[in-house]
Structure 1
Amino acid sequence: MTTTPLPSAQEVRELLEGLVGREFEMLTGGPMVNPAAEGGAVVAEYVSDEMKLAALITVDLPLAAGMGSAIALLPPRGVSESIEALELSIPQFENVSEILNVMAALFNHDGAPHLKLTKVHEPGAALPGDVAPWVTAYVARLDLEVTVAGYGEGTMSVIVL
Protein backbone atom coordinates (compact mmCIF):
# COMPACT_ATOMS: atom_id res chain seq x y z
CA MET A 1 0.00 0.00 0.00
CA THR A 2 1.30 3.46 -0.87
CA THR A 3 0.98 6.60 1.18
CA THR A 4 -1.84 9.09 0.85
CA PRO A 5 -1.16 11.35 -2.14
CA LEU A 6 -1.18 15.13 -1.91
CA PRO A 7 -3.71 16.39 -4.47
CA SER A 8 -2.73 19.02 -7.01
CA ALA A 9 -4.26 22.49 -7.13
CA GLN A 10 -5.95 21.49 -10.38
CA GLU A 11 -7.59 18.47 -8.73
CA VAL A 12 -8.86 20.67 -5.89
CA ARG A 13 -10.17 23.30 -8.31
CA GLU A 14 -11.93 20.76 -10.55
CA LEU A 15 -13.61 19.03 -7.60
CA LEU A 16 -14.82 22.32 -6.11
CA GLU A 17 -16.05 23.74 -9.42
CA GLY A 18 -17.97 20.54 -10.15
CA LEU A 19 -19.47 20.42 -6.67
CA VAL A 20 -20.27 24.10 -6.08
CA GLY A 21 -21.14 24.99 -9.67
CA ARG A 22 -19.04 28.17 -9.65
CA GLU A 23 -15.66 29.08 -11.04
CA PHE A 24 -12.74 28.83 -8.61
CA GLU A 25 -9.41 30.54 -9.15
CA MET A 26 -6.43 29.04 -7.29
CA LEU A 27 -2.91 30.26 -6.78
CA THR A 28 -0.34 27.97 -5.18
CA GLY A 29 2.18 29.18 -2.65
CA GLY A 30 -0.33 30.95 -0.46
CA PRO A 31 0.15 31.39 3.28
CA MET A 32 -0.48 28.51 5.67
CA VAL A 33 -3.96 28.73 7.14
CA ASN A 34 -3.53 29.33 10.86
CA PRO A 35 -6.65 28.60 12.93
CA ALA A 36 -5.19 30.72 15.75
CA ALA A 37 -5.30 33.87 13.57
CA GLU A 38 -8.13 36.40 13.90
CA GLY A 39 -11.34 34.89 12.56
CA GLY A 40 -9.97 31.39 12.86
CA ALA A 41 -10.45 28.61 10.36
CA VAL A 42 -12.52 25.55 9.68
CA VAL A 43 -10.36 22.45 10.22
CA ALA A 44 -11.37 19.07 8.76
CA GLU A 45 -9.82 15.83 10.00
CA TYR A 46 -9.48 12.81 7.71
CA VAL A 47 -8.61 9.37 9.10
CA SER A 48 -7.72 6.00 7.62
CA ASP A 49 -9.77 2.85 8.13
CA GLU A 50 -7.52 2.19 11.14
CA MET A 51 -8.71 5.54 12.59
CA LYS A 52 -5.23 7.08 12.20
CA LEU A 53 -5.15 10.81 11.45
CA ALA A 54 -3.82 11.01 7.88
CA ALA A 55 -4.83 14.40 6.40
CA LEU A 56 -6.27 17.80 7.22
CA ILE A 57 -7.88 20.57 5.23
CA THR A 58 -7.97 24.03 6.77
CA VAL A 59 -10.07 26.83 5.31
CA ASP A 60 -9.92 30.39 6.65
CA LEU A 61 -13.15 32.10 7.70
CA PRO A 62 -13.60 34.27 4.56
CA LEU A 63 -13.22 31.30 2.20
CA ALA A 64 -15.38 29.03 4.36
CA ALA A 65 -18.13 31.67 4.34
CA GLY A 66 -17.80 32.08 0.57
CA MET A 67 -17.85 28.36 -0.22
CA GLY A 68 -20.66 27.67 2.26
CA SER A 69 -22.76 30.45 0.74
CA ALA A 70 -21.95 29.72 -2.91
CA ILE A 71 -23.01 26.07 -2.85
CA ALA A 72 -26.45 26.99 -1.48
CA LEU A 73 -26.80 30.14 -3.61
CA LEU A 74 -27.08 32.24 -0.46
CA PRO A 75 -26.72 36.01 -0.99
CA PRO A 76 -23.05 37.10 -1.17
CA ARG A 77 -23.67 39.80 1.45
CA GLY A 78 -23.79 37.00 4.04
CA VAL A 79 -20.09 36.41 3.40
CA SER A 80 -19.13 39.94 4.43
CA GLU A 81 -21.49 39.73 7.42
CA SER A 82 -19.77 36.53 8.59
CA ILE A 83 -16.33 38.09 8.15
CA GLU A 84 -17.37 41.16 10.16
CA ALA A 85 -18.91 39.01 12.90
CA LEU A 86 -15.92 36.62 12.87
CA GLU A 87 -18.25 33.61 12.72
CA LEU A 88 -20.03 31.45 10.19
CA SER A 89 -23.80 31.18 10.06
CA ILE A 90 -25.20 27.72 10.76
CA PRO A 91 -26.02 27.12 7.06
CA GLN A 92 -22.54 28.27 5.98
CA PHE A 93 -20.87 25.90 8.46
CA GLU A 94 -23.10 22.96 7.51
CA ASN A 95 -22.52 23.61 3.79
CA VAL A 96 -18.74 23.96 4.05
CA SER A 97 -18.69 20.79 6.19
CA GLU A 98 -20.45 18.91 3.41
CA ILE A 99 -17.97 20.28 0.85
CA LEU A 100 -15.11 19.07 3.06
CA ASN A 101 -16.75 15.66 3.30
CA VAL A 102 -16.80 15.34 -0.48
CA MET A 103 -13.18 16.55 -0.62
CA ALA A 104 -12.12 13.25 1.00
CA ALA A 105 -12.22 11.92 -2.57
CA LEU A 106 -9.04 13.92 -3.26
CA PHE A 107 -7.07 11.56 -1.02
CA ASN A 108 -8.54 8.23 -2.15
CA HIS A 109 -6.54 6.67 -4.97
CA ASP A 110 -5.88 3.05 -5.95
CA GLY A 111 -3.39 1.48 -3.58
CA ALA A 112 -3.53 4.33 -1.08
CA PRO A 113 -5.21 4.12 2.32
CA HIS A 114 -8.92 4.93 2.25
CA LEU A 115 -9.58 8.19 4.11
CA LYS A 116 -12.84 9.57 5.42
CA LEU A 117 -13.87 12.78 7.12
CA THR A 118 -14.37 12.31 10.85
CA LYS A 119 -14.57 15.77 12.38
CA VAL A 120 -14.98 19.38 11.28
CA HIS A 121 -13.95 22.06 13.79
CA GLU A 122 -15.63 25.48 13.70
CA PRO A 123 -13.54 28.66 13.48
CA GLY A 124 -12.23 29.59 16.90
CA ALA A 125 -12.76 26.12 18.38
CA ALA A 126 -9.86 24.61 20.32
CA LEU A 127 -8.18 21.87 18.32
CA PRO A 128 -7.31 18.50 19.89
CA GLY A 129 -3.67 18.00 20.88
CA ASP A 130 -3.10 15.45 18.11
CA VAL A 131 -4.36 17.87 15.44
CA ALA A 132 -3.13 21.35 16.43
CA PRO A 133 0.61 20.85 15.73
CA TRP A 134 -0.03 19.61 12.19
CA VAL A 135 -1.94 22.60 10.83
CA THR A 136 1.21 24.72 10.54
CA ALA A 137 3.77 21.91 10.26
CA TYR A 138 6.18 21.63 7.35
CA VAL A 139 4.86 18.37 5.96
CA ALA A 140 3.42 17.49 2.54
CA ARG A 141 1.02 20.37 2.03
CA LEU A 142 -0.68 22.51 -0.59
CA ASP A 143 -1.26 26.12 0.47
CA LEU A 144 -3.68 27.94 -1.82
CA GLU A 145 -5.11 31.40 -2.33
CA VAL A 146 -8.64 30.77 -3.57
CA THR A 147 -11.27 33.01 -5.15
CA VAL A 148 -14.88 31.83 -5.48
CA ALA A 149 -16.54 33.69 -8.36
CA GLY A 150 -19.00 36.17 -6.88
CA TYR A 151 -18.33 35.12 -3.27
CA GLY A 152 -14.88 36.41 -2.38
CA GLU A 153 -11.51 34.97 -1.58
CA GLY A 154 -9.51 33.34 1.16
CA THR A 155 -6.92 30.68 1.83
CA MET A 156 -6.95 26.90 2.08
CA SER A 157 -4.31 24.40 3.17
CA VAL A 158 -4.43 20.72 2.23
CA ILE A 159 -2.12 18.72 4.49
CA VAL A 160 -1.07 15.07 4.27
CA LEU A 161 0.57 13.60 7.36
Structure 2
Amino acid sequence: MLPDRKDIKDLFEGLLGREVALTDGTPVDLGIPKPIVASYLDDAHGLRAVAVMSFGLAARSGAAIALIPKGAAEAAEEDRLLPVNLFENAAEICNVLAAPLGEAMDTHLRLAETFAPSDPVPAHLLALAAQAGGREDLELDISGYGTGGLSIAVAV
Protein backbone atom coordinates (compact mmCIF):
# COMPACT_ATOMS: atom_id res chain seq x y z
CA MET A 1 0.00 0.00 0.00
CA LEU A 2 3.00 2.29 0.46
CA PRO A 3 5.43 3.02 -2.36
CA ASP A 4 8.69 1.13 -2.48
CA ARG A 5 11.56 3.13 -1.04
CA LYS A 6 13.46 2.76 -4.30
CA ASP A 7 10.58 4.49 -6.11
CA ILE A 8 10.77 7.43 -3.70
CA LYS A 9 14.56 7.60 -3.99
CA ASP A 10 14.35 7.47 -7.80
CA LEU A 11 11.68 10.18 -7.84
CA PHE A 12 13.78 12.59 -5.77
CA GLU A 13 17.00 11.82 -7.66
CA GLY A 14 15.25 12.25 -11.00
CA LEU A 15 13.64 15.55 -10.08
CA LEU A 16 16.64 17.02 -8.25
CA GLY A 17 19.35 15.70 -10.54
CA ARG A 18 21.48 14.73 -7.53
CA GLU A 19 22.17 11.72 -5.44
CA VAL A 20 19.75 11.15 -2.56
CA ALA A 21 20.42 8.73 0.30
CA LEU A 22 17.30 7.35 1.93
CA THR A 23 17.22 5.83 5.43
CA ASP A 24 14.74 5.06 8.19
CA GLY A 25 13.37 8.20 9.76
CA THR A 26 11.01 9.27 12.49
CA PRO A 27 7.58 10.82 12.00
CA VAL A 28 7.92 14.39 10.75
CA ASP A 29 7.17 16.79 13.60
CA LEU A 30 3.95 18.70 12.99
CA GLY A 31 5.09 21.48 15.36
CA ILE A 32 7.41 24.44 14.79
CA PRO A 33 8.80 24.98 12.23
CA LYS A 34 5.70 23.60 10.57
CA PRO A 35 6.10 21.16 7.69
CA ILE A 36 4.44 21.06 4.30
CA VAL A 37 1.39 18.77 4.24
CA ALA A 38 0.04 17.37 0.97
CA SER A 39 -3.23 15.46 0.59
CA TYR A 40 -4.05 12.92 -2.10
CA LEU A 41 -7.49 11.91 -3.38
CA ASP A 42 -8.68 9.02 -5.51
CA ASP A 43 -11.06 9.40 -8.46
CA ALA A 44 -14.07 9.14 -6.12
CA HIS A 45 -12.67 12.15 -4.19
CA GLY A 46 -11.83 9.99 -1.18
CA LEU A 47 -8.84 10.94 0.94
CA ARG A 48 -6.28 8.17 0.46
CA ALA A 49 -2.97 9.55 1.71
CA VAL A 50 -1.02 12.47 3.10
CA ALA A 51 2.64 13.30 2.72
CA VAL A 52 4.39 15.42 5.31
CA MET A 53 7.64 17.04 4.25
CA SER A 54 9.71 18.53 7.05
CA PHE A 55 10.46 22.23 6.79
CA GLY A 56 14.11 21.32 6.18
CA LEU A 57 13.35 18.87 3.38
CA ALA A 58 10.95 21.35 1.78
CA ALA A 59 13.58 24.10 1.85
CA ARG A 60 16.42 21.83 0.68
CA SER A 61 14.53 20.02 -2.07
CA GLY A 62 12.87 23.27 -3.15
CA ALA A 63 16.29 24.85 -3.56
CA ALA A 64 17.93 21.80 -5.15
CA ILE A 65 15.27 21.36 -7.85
CA ALA A 66 15.84 24.93 -9.06
CA LEU A 67 19.65 24.85 -8.62
CA ILE A 68 19.40 27.57 -5.97
CA PRO A 69 22.44 27.57 -3.66
CA LYS A 70 21.95 25.66 -0.41
CA GLY A 71 22.46 28.92 1.48
CA ALA A 72 18.88 29.86 0.53
CA ALA A 73 17.59 26.73 2.25
CA GLU A 74 19.76 27.40 5.29
CA ALA A 75 18.53 31.00 5.49
CA ALA A 76 14.92 29.83 5.26
CA GLU A 77 15.48 27.42 8.14
CA GLU A 78 17.25 30.04 10.22
CA ASP A 79 14.41 32.52 9.63
CA ARG A 80 11.72 29.79 9.91
CA LEU A 81 10.17 31.32 6.82
CA LEU A 82 9.82 29.30 3.62
CA PRO A 83 9.99 31.63 0.60
CA VAL A 84 7.20 31.21 -1.94
CA ASN A 85 9.55 29.89 -4.64
CA LEU A 86 10.91 27.14 -2.39
CA PHE A 87 7.39 26.20 -1.29
CA GLU A 88 6.15 26.02 -4.88
CA ASN A 89 9.12 23.85 -5.86
CA ALA A 90 8.54 21.48 -2.93
CA ALA A 91 4.80 21.41 -3.73
CA GLU A 92 5.65 20.28 -7.25
CA ILE A 93 7.64 17.38 -5.78
CA CYS A 94 4.55 16.50 -3.71
CA ASN A 95 2.52 16.59 -6.93
CA VAL A 96 4.84 14.12 -8.68
CA LEU A 97 4.74 11.89 -5.57
CA ALA A 98 1.10 11.12 -6.43
CA ALA A 99 2.24 8.68 -9.15
CA PRO A 100 4.22 6.22 -7.00
CA LEU A 101 1.61 6.52 -4.24
CA GLY A 102 -1.15 5.61 -6.69
CA GLU A 103 0.85 2.76 -8.18
CA ALA A 104 1.44 1.27 -4.73
CA MET A 105 -2.29 1.49 -3.98
CA ASP A 106 -3.25 0.27 -7.46
CA THR A 107 -5.46 3.30 -8.00
CA HIS A 108 -5.19 6.72 -9.62
CA LEU A 109 -4.34 9.42 -7.11
CA ARG A 110 -4.04 13.14 -7.56
CA LEU A 111 -2.65 15.85 -5.37
CA ALA A 112 -5.62 17.60 -3.81
CA GLU A 113 -3.90 20.36 -1.88
CA THR A 114 -0.53 21.32 -0.49
CA PHE A 115 -0.39 23.37 2.69
CA ALA A 116 2.52 25.74 3.29
CA PRO A 117 4.02 26.05 6.78
CA SER A 118 2.01 29.26 7.28
CA ASP A 119 -1.32 27.66 6.25
CA PRO A 120 -3.79 26.13 8.69
CA VAL A 121 -4.09 22.38 8.02
CA PRO A 122 -7.50 20.71 8.43
CA ALA A 123 -7.75 18.47 11.51
CA HIS A 124 -8.62 15.33 9.53
CA LEU A 125 -5.38 15.64 7.55
CA LEU A 126 -3.35 16.13 10.72
CA ALA A 127 -5.05 13.07 12.23
CA LEU A 128 -4.11 10.93 9.22
CA ALA A 129 -0.56 12.30 9.29
CA ALA A 130 -0.25 11.33 12.97
CA GLN A 131 -1.70 7.82 12.73
CA ALA A 132 0.48 5.01 14.06
CA GLY A 133 -0.02 2.42 11.29
CA GLY A 134 -0.05 2.52 7.51
CA ARG A 135 2.90 4.87 7.27
CA GLU A 136 6.47 5.24 6.13
CA ASP A 137 8.90 7.62 7.81
CA LEU A 138 12.07 8.41 5.90
CA GLU A 139 15.15 10.57 6.21
CA LEU A 140 16.46 11.89 2.88
CA ASP A 141 19.96 13.24 2.45
CA ILE A 142 20.23 15.34 -0.70
CA SER A 143 23.82 15.47 -1.92
CA GLY A 144 25.19 18.98 -1.39
CA TYR A 145 22.06 20.22 0.42
CA GLY A 146 21.57 18.11 3.55
CA THR A 147 18.84 16.10 5.21
CA GLY A 148 15.16 16.29 5.91
CA GLY A 149 12.25 14.05 6.80
CA LEU A 150 9.38 12.70 4.75
CA SER A 151 6.40 10.90 6.25
CA ILE A 152 3.72 9.24 4.15
CA ALA A 153 0.52 7.97 5.75
CA VAL A 154 -2.20 6.10 3.89
CA ALA A 155 -5.84 5.80 4.90
CA VAL A 156 -6.38 2.31 6.30
Quick one: distance in 1 between partners of 2:104 and 2:149? 29
Q: How many residues align?
A: 155
Deviations 1:87-138 (A, max 9, x none): 2111100100111101111122288221100100011422112211111111
Is the deviation greater in 103-112 or in 10-19?
A: 103-112
- Classify the secondary structure of the residue corresponding to 1:120: strand
How do 1:101-116 and structure 2 match up within 5 A? 101-109=95-103, 112-116=106-110
Residue 88 of structure 2, aligned match among 90, 94, 105: 94
Say which of 5, 30, 34 aligns to 2:29: 34
Give the gaps of 5 or more residues in structure 1.
Answer: none
Please list every run of 5 or more consecutive structure 2 residues that lacks an aligned counterpart in the other structure.
none
TM-score, normalised via structure 1 length? 0.91
Does the 8 Å CA contact 1:42/1:64 hold for their aligned counterparts? yes
Residue correspondence of structure 1 range 9-48 to structure 2 within 5 A:
9-28=5-24, 30-35=25-30, 37-48=31-42
Regions of 4+ moved over 3 Å: none
Q: Structure 1 vs Structure 2: percent identity of aligned residues?
A: 34
Q: Give the counterpart letter for 2:17 in structure 1.
A: G
* Cα root mean square deviation, aligned: 1.4
CA 1:100 to 1:110, structure 2 compared with 1: closer, same or farther past 3 Å?
Answer: closer
Deviation, structure 1 residue 159? 1.3
Between Structure 1 and Structure 2, which shows a larger proportion of helix residues? Answer: 2
